[in-house]
Chains A and B, each alone.
Chain A
Amino acid sequence: MSTETGRESRRSGALVSVMRWMENLSDTQYAYLLLVPVFVLLGIVALYPLLRTFELSLFALSADFSSTTFVGAGNYVELFTGEKNRYLPGGTTFLPEGLGMSALLNSALVVTIIFAVVSVLFETLIGLGQALILDQDFYGRRWIRAAIIIPWAVPIVIQGMIFFLMFNSNVGFLTPPLADLGLLAPTNTLNDTASATFIIIVADIWKTSAFMALLILAGLQSIDRGLYDVAKVAGATKWQQFKLITFPLILPTIGVAVLFRSVQAMRVYGIIDTVSSCTVVPSLSCMVVATFTTREGTSAAIAFVTAAIIGTVVMGLIVWQGEDAI
């Protein structure tokens, strides 16, 4: 120890003095020092933009497009009363203008919620199935697992291209059979709101089920195998084992996974932009992107409403999970 300090004291310069200063910090000071890069990065890219988005959402463009004026909650009020709808692309609306199928699917808010609910529901069911399979021991399990994970790793733009090519009216071979079943519009499929929404939900289920499967698999593998031995001795069937042991024990895991995925699903943009277009399938993120260069205030208000909806869901998750959420 004495030789070490002796050697260090012979060195001089800024680096050494910084090092020595760091050595003498308390644990708390040192912790906050190391977190400075995180604070800087998140401050620039997350905190500042979030505050600024809120600020922008309080201003509106004046009639002559030259300046902005403070309107308070005006943008939000106009958004919810439907006056902002004229700025949204392709005749889409923020809130639905009626309760008919086409009015509902023309509303960005409704489409986003439908997309999130339906895709997460099916992803959970399929993910559970995949997880139950991956939980077994069998020859070639490694390869099956890789095959099931691959869709999760496919870039969104390629995922979109795949489904664009599968349902394109020129080469898509899947459109005629599904149109016969009445699921899709037979012509101009990708420009038909209902059909395109359906295709986009299918595309999301294809890509993200594997993610759900991995989360649920983690829950499955933490179950004590001894429980199944007891059940077998007691004469329980496989279904009873699933209903009474597996399902109750993985329910908390599924709950977290579902909320986590719902939050991600509410951001949907890329797959819509590639497969169809934002004017056909409006989502909240779509509306932000479509308006942000021309109508800042409107765009910022939509962005902040999106963030608020997601924030509410997240708060629910954190309150429900408490400290375990971290």
Chain B
Amino acid sequence: MATPTDTQEQSSDGPLQRWTQSAIQDPEKVYRALFYAAMVFFLVTTLFPFYWLIVLAVTPEGNLLSGSFLPTVNLFGVSGTFPLPVPKGFNPGAFVTVFEQVPFHLYMLNSFALAVTTTVIVLFVASLAGYVFGRLRFPGRALLMLGILAISYFPPAAFVIPLFQAFAGNAPITVPFTSIPLFTPPRMLNTPGSMVLPFSALFMPLSIFILTTFYGQIPDGLEDAARVEGTTRLGALFRVIMPLSAPGVATAAVLTFIAVYNEYFFSSIMATSPEAAKWSPIVGGILSYQTQYTTQFNLMAAASIVGVLPVVILVIVAQERIVSGLTSGALKE
């Protein structure tokens, strides 16, 4: 390239020109290149924020505010700003401190407990409903499915005021539009119940639609055979249809678990103070770093990394289930 002779220039130009020449003859090559460029672009944009968390988390606290994360590099006499942030020092201790300053593991445990409880309840109730909608023909089926669909569209904000009042347990619940008292609910704020109930109702419709699809696909003959063998109606559902639809059940379980783990609205309102002992999930844990330790950005980043790990692992392990569930269930929903 530096001193090409005329003859050489004609036969073999720069690599870019050579590539352009062959690309004109073979357009497939251009599509290939565009494809990989787009793929790299999407990979960088989706994964970069996690890289930034790691950069912040390993930067020692004292170095956080001094200087820029974009170092100036001097390359062959030309100095410029390096386009990627790099850590200012290395101190993985933040990943230990994050559990000491605030009991972050307890918040995560709360999140797990809430997510598992909700998933079990949702799977049970949605299994019954999925069986009904997927396998039985009865009047009002379409209307009921439409009703469940409509409810799932309503914003949580439309439910929160009466639920908060009911869970506070100060006044008796009355029949709407009258003052006839029904009963006084127990105080449920800061307990799992005040979060599991709304979560279950909120995330159940998606599971119902997924399980309806899967249960509807089991051949009638299998259920009939089980019934002839003497299984009860419920037994046929839980011992034949549910095990045969294991992929569908797993899909509904994974999606419900992730949805609860990610939930913000009720998690932040129903746990009135961000304390692990009061059943506050990771929302409370992360926010207490933001509100109490306002300059320890490395701890905020470390807590975020720790909190995101379970779902990242779940996505990598169960991505087939997630994809099939979102595409079969959510499209219908």
A residues bordering B, Cβ < 8 Å? 1, 4, 19, 22-23, 27-28, 30-32, 34-35, 37-38, 41-42, 44-56, 126, 129-130, 133, 136, 142, 144-151, 153-158, 161-166, 168, 170-171, 173, 206, 210-211, 214-215, 217-218, 237-238, 253, 256-257, 260, 263, 266-267, 269-271, 273-274, 284-285, 288-289, 292, 296, 299-300, 302-304, 306-307, 310-311, 314, 318, 323, 325-326
Whether A155 lies near B307 (C-beta < 8 A) is: yes
Interfacial chain B residues near A289, Cβ < 8 Å:
157, 160, 269
Interfacial chain B residues near A164, Cβ < 8 Å:
290, 300
B28-49 interface with A by 8 A CB criterion: 31, 35, 38-39, 42-43, 45-47, 49
Whether B162 lies near A53 (C-beta < 8 A) is: yes
27 contacts between A and B (CB under 8 A): A19-B232, A22-B234, A23-B233, A27-B138, A28-B138, A30-B136, A31-B138, A35-B132, A38-B208, A42-B148, A44-B201, A48-B162, A49-B158, A50-B158, A52-B162, A133-B39, A145-B323, A148-B43, A153-B314, A155-B262, A162-B53, A165-B304, A267-B157, A269-B157, A273-B268, A274-B264, A274-B290
Whether B148 lies near A38 (C-beta < 8 A) is: yes
Interfacial chain A residues near B268, Cβ < 8 Å:
270, 273
Whether B157 lies near A323 (C-beta < 8 A) is: no
A-B pairs, top 5 by smallest CB distance, nearest first, are A270-B264, A218-B327, A45-B201, A52-B162, A51-B176
Interfacial chain B residues near A318, Cβ < 8 Å:
146, 149-150
Asked whether any CB of chain A lies closer than 8 Å to the CB of B198, the reply is yes
Q: A52-B162, A155-B307, A304-B158 are in contact. Are A145 and B132 (CB under 8 A)?
A: no
Whether B157 lies near A31 (C-beta < 8 A) is: no
Asked whether any CB of chain A lies closer than 8 Å to the CB of B69, the reply is yes
Whether A306 lies near B197 (C-beta < 8 A) is: no
Asked whether any CB of chain A lies closer than 8 Å to the CB of B253, the reply is no
Whether A274 lies near B258 (C-beta < 8 A) is: no
Asked whether any CB of chain A lies closer than 8 Å to the CB of B311, the reply is yes
Q: How many B residues, CB 8 Å from partner?
A: 104
B residues bordering A, Cβ < 8 Å? 27, 31, 35, 38-39, 42-43, 45-47, 49-50, 52-53, 56, 64-65, 68-70, 85, 124-126, 128-129, 131-132, 136-139, 141-142, 144-146, 148-151, 153-164, 173, 176-177, 197-198, 200-202, 204, 208, 228, 230, 232-234, 258, 261-265, 268-269, 282-283, 286-287, 290, 295, 297, 300-301, 303-304, 307-308, 311-312, 314-316, 319, 322-323, 326-328, 330-333
B49's closest neighbor in chain A, by CB?
A: A162
CA distance A126 to B38 in the complex (A): 10
Interfacial chain B residues near A151, Cβ < 8 Å:
46, 49
Interfacial chain A residues near B262, Cβ < 8 Å:
153-156
Interfacial chain A residues near B286, Cβ < 8 Å:
157-158, 161, 274
CA distance A37 to B128 in the complex (A): 8
Whether A274 lies near B233 (C-beta < 8 A) is: no
Q: Determine which of A126, A267, A284, A299 lies in contact with B161 in the assembled complex, contact meaning CB atoms within 8 Å.
A: A299
Interfacial chain B residues near A54, Cβ < 8 Å:
176
Whether B155 lies near A310 (C-beta < 8 A) is: yes
Q: Determine which of A150, A170, A256, A310 lies in contact with B153 in the assembled complex, contact meaning CB atoms within 8 Å.
A: A310
CB proximity of B194 to chain A, nearest CB, Å: 11
Q: A35-B132, A158-B307, A326-B332 are in contact. Are A214 and B323 (CB under 8 A)?
A: yes
CB proximity of B189 to chain A, nearest CB, Å: 12
Q: Determine which of B176, B197, B204 lies in contact with A38 in the assembled complex, contact meaning CB atoms within 8 Å.
A: B204
CA distance A75 to B319 in the complex (A): 47
Q: Determine which of A46, A165, A253, A311 lies in contact with B52 in the assembled complex, contact meaning CB atoms within 8 Å.
A: A165
CA distance A263 to B148 in the complex (A): 16
Q: Determine which of B159, B319, B328 lies in contact with A46 in the assembled complex, contact meaning CB atoms within 8 Å.
A: B159
Q: Looking at A147, A153, A325, which has the most chain B CB atoms within 10 Å of its CB?
A: A153
CB proximity of A289 to chain B, nearest CB, Å: 7
Q: Determine which of B35, B158, B258 lies in contact with A307 in the assembled complex, contact meaning CB atoms within 8 Å.
A: B158
CA distance A44 to B194 in the complex (A): 12
Q: Looking at A4, A37, A142, A157, which has the most chain B CB atoms within 10 Å of its CB?
A: A157
Q: Looking at A23, A45, A146, A318, which has the most chain B CB atoms within 10 Å of its CB?
A: A45
Whether A147 lies near B47 (C-beta < 8 A) is: yes
CA distance A257 to B39 in the complex (A): 22
Interfacial chain B residues near A48, Cβ < 8 Å:
162, 173, 176
A126's closest neighbor in chain B, by CB?
A: B42
Interfacial chain A residues near B232, Cβ < 8 Å:
19, 22-23
